């Protein structure tokens, strides 16, 4: 969730007074970090994942499933265990936005060995087991990695059930999501209140309802308490939501990679950006909101709207008078610019930025492209500030920089090193929706991390215009986009005169490869076309070779043990079959479950009983007591808790600091 400071949170009116102060010192902190670390080289690959879990209580007698608000209590025990562990703990735990959510990560990053790919699933299993061990299964408590809980925002969706109305919910003023379901850490409720107050009204989320044969036409809700604001905000034939919790109360799967230097980090940022919509569609897992089937499969636009703090002026609804910019997007959305010189010509949308900040960064020695990126992020105000964190030492701290950097929740995040830290330049991949099982989540993580190695080894080029990436992000969220959607993608991603057969002979290195500008002789229109997800992942006869073909060529050139190769192939096969439609996405599976339920009335309503049965089956699938071949086939990886003994021993000798998992 980003920077988690402790202290006394300021109101929006108080925070607003310090907005320029935070921006000024945040930029100076960035300049100081850049000057110290711009020439840092030689960092090894380290990477990790973040999985977010939801705590649930199932009541078999009453056929209900509720979100369990014990998250803070459970997290306190997990963190205490972590702190008291005599050895390096294999897992770490952190708070998330809602009181029913917990985030789990590996205790240390993974490294550059192929064997690390075979540890991901085991570590995820360990996290889930550790979390489940603190829940009372006799009381129906469990933990499920739902992207969105199907009854989120419906009456009585929490355990314990809590009064919910705009009067009680002083932070959000929500009709549906109680403030008591927000994590107790002061940052989260402050964000909720300040986003609403800065915007000047409640956040407004409208997503199209799935029109089944008995769905009312028009579908129009009546709101309690004569809520005129909600009545005006809600659209016909849409599911209306009014709180940050509907977005940040969703779970996701994220990956972070450390690059060897700043240039490699920028390169990976750019190359992964066009893949964000592809993996948003492939991981689609969110077709139900507030107890209704939606006509979308993903959470992305819901979160973007849930934290949209732009004023009416900034949204272009009124002339600029008090604000400086008309801003096209929420602070949670897809990226707006590439960072490397070879990608600059694909920056084809107008970038709203603070010209003074951009000039200040360039005067400090930061190149134009990177300066524009940060000057764009810093058009935003800080929306959470603590009184103890106002006056800082810009040479030693980065809290003001992170305050704004970490609340620009974009599809990719470029992350400078923290001050006085061994951590290097990093990139975060953020679009993926979380899956039900550890096998599936491991598959998506391994696929993306392995793909970064292939990108660097073969100097792959996935660049397309940013406007096309934006189009793809919208396409990715449509119902059944994996099978029905068409996505802009490059026709050829290899440097010229390279083919898959050549790759097995020799791996070209990025440093020796020609810049893209030298081999992009054709017009941009000819470089990319629309493809299906199946064609992008699995290739097409006489056309694009497919990502998996490139990855398999790479795997033939590296030293990889039999067990790891077996697991990696299982993971690649899952992604391949999801792409082809042979296996369902989680969203498609949930939608089919609801529509085939005997109590479903073809009216788009996901009742308490349907949600209970869905949650029960999902829990059984998660725990491995129910097979689900239509979702992931047969689970047969050879995942290991640790590296092979010989590798483990050698790595311990080579890595005396023990700063990676072994």
pLDDT of res. 325? 98
CA dist., res. 143 & res. 297, Å (int): 22
Q: pLDDT digit string (tens) for 186-198?
A: 889 999 999 999 9
pLDDT of res. 309? 98
CA dist., res. 527 & res. 510, Å (int): 20
Token code pair at residue 289? 């909101």
CA dist., res. 171 & res. 187, Å (int): 12
Comparing 367-381, 493-507, 554-568, 630-644, the range with the smallest average pLDDT is: 493-507
Token code pair at residue 319? 């002339």
CA dist., res. 353 & res. 327, Å (int): 9
The string of DSSP letters for 274-329 reads: GGHHHHHHHT----EETTEEBSB--SHHHHHHHT----TTTTTSS--SS-S---SS
What Cα–Cα distance (Å) separates residue 354 from each residue in 177, 327, 419?
35, 12, 25
Q: pLDDT digit string (tens) for 415-464?
A: 999 999 999 999 999 999 999 999 999 999 999 999 999 999 999 999 99
Q: Helix crossing, 438-458 with 562-580: angle to 10°?
A: 100
pLDDT of res. 636? 81
- What does the DSSP 8-state code read for residue 628? -
Q: pLDDT digit string (tens) for 526-549?
A: 899 999 999 999 999 989 999 999
Contact partners, residue 391, CB within 8 Å, separation at least 6 = none
Closest among 418, 437, 416 to 427, alpha carbons compared:
416
Task: Kindly indicate the confidence band of residue 508, based on its pLDDT and cuts at 50, 70 and 90.
Answer: very low
Closest among 317, 222, 246 to 97, alpha carbons compared:
246
CA dist., res. 463 & res. 346, Å (int): 7
Q: pLDDT digit string (tens) for 198-215?
A: 999 999 999 999 999 999
Count of C-beta atoms within a 10 Å radius of residue 136 = 10
Q: Tokens 């934006």 belong to which residue?
A: 470
CA dist., res. 406 & res. 380, Å (int): 11
**Cβ-count burial 587-613 (b if 16+ within 10 Å, e if not):** bbbbbebbeebeebeeebbbbbbbbbb
Sign of CA dihedral 67, 69, 70, 76: positive
The string of DSSP letters for 375-431 reads: HHHTTSPP---BGGGSS--TTT--HHHHHHHTT-EESEEEEPPPTT-S---EEEE--
Count of C-beta atoms within a 10 Å radius of residue 333 = 21
pLDDT of res. 498? 62
Backbone angles phi, psi at 209, to 5 degrees: -80, 150
Sign of CA dihedral 469, 471, 474, 479: negative
Q: pLDDT digit string (tens) for 422-431?
A: 999 999 999 9
Q: Specify the CATH architecture of the domain 40-351+387-451.
A: 2-Layer Sandwich (3.30)
CA angle (276 as vertex; 275, 280 as ends), nearest 5? 120
Q: Tokens 């949204």 belong to which residue?
A: 315
Global pTM reads: 0.94
pLDDT of res. 467? 98
CA dist., res. 425 & res. 108, Å (int): 17
Strand partners, 332: 409
Q: pLDDT digit string (tens) for 78-129?
A: 999 998 887 789 999 999 999 999 999 999 999 999 999 999 999 999 999 9
Closest among 484, 478, 513 to 498, alpha carbons compared:
513
Sign of CA dihedral 525, 530, 536, 541: negative
pLDDT of res. 659? 73
In the predicted model, is pLDDT for residue 499 greater than 70? no
What integer best gives the mean pLDDT of the chain? Answer: 93
What is the mean pLDDT of the segment spanning 568-582?
A: 98
What is the mean pLDDT of the segment spanning 274-280?
A: 98
256: helix, strand or coil: strand
In the predicted model, is pLDDT for residue 510 greater than 60? no
């Amino acid at each position: 969730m980003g920077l988690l400071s402790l202290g006394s949170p300021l109101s929006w009116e108080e925070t607003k007074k310090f907005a320029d102060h935070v921006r000024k010192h945040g930029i100076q902190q960035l300049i100081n970090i850049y000057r110290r670390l711009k020439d840092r080289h030689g960092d090894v690959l380290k990477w990790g994942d973040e999985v977010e879990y939801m705590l649930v209580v199932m009541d078999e007698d009453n056929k209900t499933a509720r979100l369990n608000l014990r998250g803070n209590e459970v997290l306190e025990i997990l963190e205490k265990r972590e702190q008291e562990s005599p050895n390096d703990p294999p897992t770490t735990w952190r708070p998330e936005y809602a009181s029913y959510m917990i985030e789990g990560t590996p205790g240390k990053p993974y490294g550059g060995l192929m064997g690390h790919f075979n540890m991901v699933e085991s570590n995820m299993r360990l996290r889930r087991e550790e979390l489940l061990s603190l829940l009372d299964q006799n009381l129906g408590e469990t933990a499920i990695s739902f992207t969105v809980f199907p009854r989120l925002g419906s009456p009585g969706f929490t355990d314990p059930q809590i009064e919910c109305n705009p009067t009680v919910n002083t932070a959000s003023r929500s009709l549906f999501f109680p403030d008591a379901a927000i994590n107790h850490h002061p940052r989260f409720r402050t964000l909720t209140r300040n986003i609403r107050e800065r915007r000047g009204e409640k956040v407004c989320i409208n997503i199209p309802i799935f029109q089944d044969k008995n769905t009312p036409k028009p579908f129009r809700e009546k709101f309690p308490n004569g809520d005129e604001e909600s009545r005006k905000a809600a659209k016909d034939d849409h599911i209306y939501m009014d709180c940050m919790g509907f977005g940040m109360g969703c779970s996701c799967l994220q990956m972070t990679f450390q690059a060897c230097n700043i240039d490699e980090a920028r390169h990976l940022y750019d190359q992964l950006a066009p893949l964000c919509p592809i993996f948003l569609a492939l991981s689609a897992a969110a077709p139900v909101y507030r107890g209704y089937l939606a006509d979308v499969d993903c959470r992305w636009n819901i979160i973007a709207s849930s934290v949209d703090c732009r004023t009416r002026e900034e949204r272009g609804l009124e002339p600029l008078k008090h604000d400086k910019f008309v801003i096209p997007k929420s602070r949670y959305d897809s990226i707006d610019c590439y960072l490397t010189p070879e990608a600059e010509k694909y920056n084809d949308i107008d970038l709203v930025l603070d010209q003074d900040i951009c000039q200040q960064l360039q005067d400090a020695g930061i190149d134009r492209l990177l300066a524009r990126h940060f000057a764009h992020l810093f058009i935003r105000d800080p929306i959470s500030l603590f009184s103890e964190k106002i006056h800082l030492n810009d040479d030693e701290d980065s809290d003001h920089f992170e305050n704004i950097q970490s609340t620009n929740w974009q599809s990719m995040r470029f992350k400078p090193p923290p001050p006085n830290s061994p951590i290097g330049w990093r990139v975060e991949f953020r679009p993926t929706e979380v899956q039900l099982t550890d096998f599936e989540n491991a598959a998506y993580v391994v696929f993306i991390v392995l793909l970064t190695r292939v990108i660097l080894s073969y100097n792959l080029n996935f660049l397309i215009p940013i406007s096309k990436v934006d189009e793809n992000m919208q396409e990715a969220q449509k119902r059944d986009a994996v099978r029905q959607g068409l996505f802009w993608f490059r026709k050829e991603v290899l440097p010229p005169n390279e083919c898959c057969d050549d790759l097995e002979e020799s791996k070209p290195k990025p440093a020796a490869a020609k810049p893209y500008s030298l081999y992009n002789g054709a017009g941009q229109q000819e470089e990319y076309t629309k493809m299906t997800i199946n064609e992008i992942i699995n290739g097409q006869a006489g056309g694009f070779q497919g990502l998996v073909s490139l990855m398999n060529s790479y795997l033939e050139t590296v030293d990889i043990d039999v067990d790891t190769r077996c697991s990696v192939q299982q993971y690649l096969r899952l992604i391949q079959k999801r792409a082809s439609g042979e296996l369902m996405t989680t969203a498609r599976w949930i939608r089919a479950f609801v529509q085939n339920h005997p109590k479903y009335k073809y009216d788009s309503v996901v009742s308490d009983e349907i949600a209970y049965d869905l949650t029960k089956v999902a829990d059984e699938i998660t725990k491995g007591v129910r097979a689900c071949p239509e979702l992931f086939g047969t689970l047969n990886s050879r995942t290991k808790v640790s590296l092979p003994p010989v590798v483990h021993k050698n790595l311990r000798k080579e890595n005396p600091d023990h700063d990676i998992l072994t």
